[in-house]
Chain A
Amino acid sequence: MDLAFDIIPDERLKDAVLRLSGNAQAEITRAGAYSLYVLVRRHVNRYSRAHHASADNLGAEHTGHLEEGSRAIVPPADNVLSIPIPGFQRVFKDLEISPRTAKALTIPINRVAYGKRAPRLQSEGWRLFTVSTRGGGPGGGILFGRRGEDSAATALYALSKSVRVRQDRSMLPSDEDMQRAAAKGVANAILRRSR
């Protein structure tokens, strides 16, 4: 997800920067963007290390999806910060997730399935089969698995036509904190050039 920021929202600062050469403008924008990136990366990592409810509820090993994603955030060259974390858009709005090619979403309900696609489990030797639940939700059903003919069937995934994930604005710092960070980087860069 790409986040575009107004690195220099203050009109007087913007005027001062616009009077400088194109190179200097780009450098100052980049300095502000870098300060913003440092704040955002720290915040996303702190958030990620405190949010493992899905895995913990299943007793599953953490995938580290958000933690690893925060490590992958890199400084931007301009005012667009890229957050390479699938689904991060929910910082700004609820997400309605539907299957891209399959008939239903597979939502892990067992730690064995957590962090893995159903075909991967099949490759690991699981035989998967569905049992429709009477009165289940839209497209509802359970994907069971059995590993080895003598083993008991295990409920692995809940099937659903779609899932709504609620917005969580706290995945990013506040707008004020982000503006303050960018402004600090910009101000420092301007001061350095006026010495």
Chain B
Amino acid sequence: MARPEDILRVKALLPTTLGSEEIRERIAADILRRSVFSARMASAPYLADLREVLVQYASGEVNRADATLALTRSLEQLGHSPMDGNAITNPASQQRLDLILKTNRQMAASVARIEAQTPDTLDDFPGWELMRFSGRRVPREDWHRRWAAAGDAVGWQGAARHTGEYPEWSFIALKSSPIWAALGSGAGGFRDTLGNPYPPFAFGSGLDWDDVERDRCEELGLLQPGEQVTLGKASLAPDAAEVADMEKRYGFDAGEDA
């Protein structure tokens, strides 16, 4: 079973001169999921450094301050500087580096979470609840609208209509529900999503999945006693052939414990 750092390690480098909006419009989400990229970053050596730092950050080998410093040094060699401002368009800004580090780590963890599902875990915990894991100074307050739009888009298949108001809301659905893909695709016209059927469901989002016990799913009417949930694989995770190819290229064994 691939760990988040292994998932990140085998990502391909995708140098690009495109901005984030253009990337989203022109490059298939499936390709983006398997790539290390940054808007308007055409330097493959920097992306290689980024990939290595992401691996170290995801595994807990370094904290975000050290990861940020390593990337700062790499970017300075390309002439990018934090002194150029803290806007997200500056590759060396704290804001940009934080977003890249956190988003990639969270995405890889989500994929590992999906990949870890077995018939036993799906029976014990057939659902996910989208809830706040990380605080935000200015949290989005439109999650109930996003949830409603995504739910309407899929006919509420396997999903419970939200209850409560922020912050006492409740967004619960079966792990197999298409609502997750609809949420990630920005159903309802939301343009700040990443196109993934797993957290984070929007840029910089502090919401993540928590497992929901079977009893609760049955109480909500999401499934009947004895009913089974099955789940497809997340496309971010490498298959066995890809892992073998990367092992040959980079000389590591993704199957061994650190």
Query: Is B one of A's binding partners?
Result: yes
Q: Which residues of A contact B (CB under 8 A)?
A: 1-2, 27-28, 30-31, 34-35, 38, 41-42, 45, 49, 61-65, 67-75, 77, 80, 82-88, 115-117, 119-120, 123-125, 185, 188-189, 192
Q: Which residues of A contact B124 (CB under 8 A)?
A: 31, 34-35, 185, 188
Given the complex of chains A and B, what is the CA–CA distance between A63 and B125 in angstroms? 31
Can you show 15 pairs from A to B with CB atoms below 8 A apart?
A: A30-B120, A30-B121, A31-B124, A62-B135, A77-B1, A77-B116, A83-B60, A84-B58, A86-B60, A119-B69, A123-B72, A185-B124, A188-B123, A188-B124, A192-B123
Contact B120 A68 (CB under 8 A): no
In Å, the complex CA distance between A86 and B56 comes to 11
Neighbour of A188 across the interface among B63, B65, B120, B257, CB < 8 A: B120
Q: Tell which of A1, A27, A75 has the most Cβ of chain B within 10 Å.
A: A75
Residues of B close to A124: CB separation below 8 A: 82-83, 94
Q: Residues 145-173 of chain B: 1 if any A CB is under 8 Å from the residue's CB, otherwise 0?
A: 00000000000000000000000000000
Mark each residue of chain B from 100 to 130: 1 if its CB lies under 8 Å from any CB of chain A, else 0: 0010011001001100101011011100000
Q: How far is the CA of A34 from the CA of B214 in the complex (A)?
A: 14
Q: How far is the CA of A42 from the CA of B209 in the complex (A)?
A: 10
A51 to B74, CA, bound (A): 33
**How distant is B232 from chain A, measured CB to nearest CB, in Å?**
17
What separation, in Å, do the CA atoms of A86 and B11 have in the docked complex?
24
Interface residue ranges of B22-73 to A (CB < 8 Å): 58-66, 68-69, 72-73
Q: Which of B204-258 contact A (CB under 8 A)?
A: 206, 208, 210-211, 257-258
0 or 1 for each of B165-202: is its CB under 8 Å from A? (1 = yes) = 00000000000000000000000000000000001000
Decide if B113 touches A34 in the complex (CB within 8 Å): no
Nearest CB on B from A44, distance (A)? 10
Nearest chain-B residue to A77 (Cβ)? B1
A120→B68 contact, CB < 8 A: yes
Interface residues of B in 65-91 (CB under 8 A from A): 65-66, 68-69, 72-73, 76, 81-83
Alpha-carbon distance A34/B72, docked complex (angstroms): 37
Number of A-B contacts (CB under 8 A): 125
- Bound: A45/B206 CA distance, A: 12
Q: Give the distance in Å from the alpha carbon of A143 to the alpha carbon of B112 in the complex.
A: 42
A157 to chain B, nearest CB (A): 12
Are B60 and A85 within 8 A (Cβ)?
Answer: yes
Report the minimum CB–CB distance from B70 to chain A (whole Å).
10
Query: Complex Cα distance A63/B4, Å?
Result: 21
Closest Cβ of chain A to B6, distance in Å, is 11
Cα A73 to Cα B208 in complex, Å, equals 12
B218 to chain A, nearest CB (A): 14
Determine if B64 and A63 form an interchain contact, defined as CB atoms under 8 angstroms apart.
yes
Chain B minimum-CB-distance residue to A100: B66
A42: chain B residues within 8 A (beta carbon): 210
Cβ-defined contact, A70 with B133, below 8 A: yes
CA distance A77 to B199 in the complex (A): 21
Set A35, A41, A71, A82: member contacting B3, Cβ < 8 A: A82
- Asked whether B133 lies within 8 Å of A80 as measured between CB atoms, the reply is no
Contact A34 B116 (CB under 8 A): yes
Are A72 and B105 in contact, with the CB atoms below 8 A? yes
- Given contacts A70-B133, A120-B82, A123-B72, A31 and B106 within 8 Å (CB-CB): no
User: Are A49 and B135 in contact (CB-based, < 8 A)?
Assistant: yes
Instruction: Give the chain A neighbours of B123 by CB distance below 8 A.
Output: 188, 192
* Interface contact B113-A74, CB-CB below 8 Å: yes
Q: Are A38 and B211 in contact (CB under 8 A)?
A: yes
How long is the Cα–Cα vector from A20 to B82 in the complex, in angstroms? 59
